Amino acid sequence: MRNVSAQEARDWLIEKIAHRIGAQPADVPPEQYFDVLGLDSTEVLILAGEMEHWLGFELGTTALWYHPTIKDLAAHMAEESSQRAAAT
């Protein structure tokens, strides 16, 4: 299980999304909604699987819907990872 900061999660998400949409990481705004970035539902599911593999735990199927921007999701990832690390 990985304990990540919000910045680490944000950087990871930006890199993964940039790759998926064929953009440079600098061109992926962290405040932009995932659907506006051009990620379809299949790509979001693939991203969720990669994210869970990277983190070492499952965030839950609704995490990307309740945290619809890179910035929001990164903060959630960091919070969850911190709570899980503290519980072990």
Number of domains composing the chain:
1
pLDDT reading at 47 higher than 80: yes
pLDDT reading at 10 higher than 90: yes
Domain annotation covers residue 30: yes
pLDDT reading at 61 higher than 80: no
| pLDDT for the residue numbered 16 | 95
| pLDDT for the residue numbered 64 | 84
Domain annotation covers residue 58: yes
Parent domain of 49: 6-87
Closest CA to 34 of 69, 65, 3, 2: 69
Under 8 Å between Cβ of 55 and 4: yes
Label residue 42 by pLDDT band (50, 70, 90). confident
Q: Which residue stretches of the chain are H helix?
A: 6-21, 41-55, 63-66, 70-87
Whole-prediction pTM: 0.91
| pLDDT for the residue numbered 6 | 97
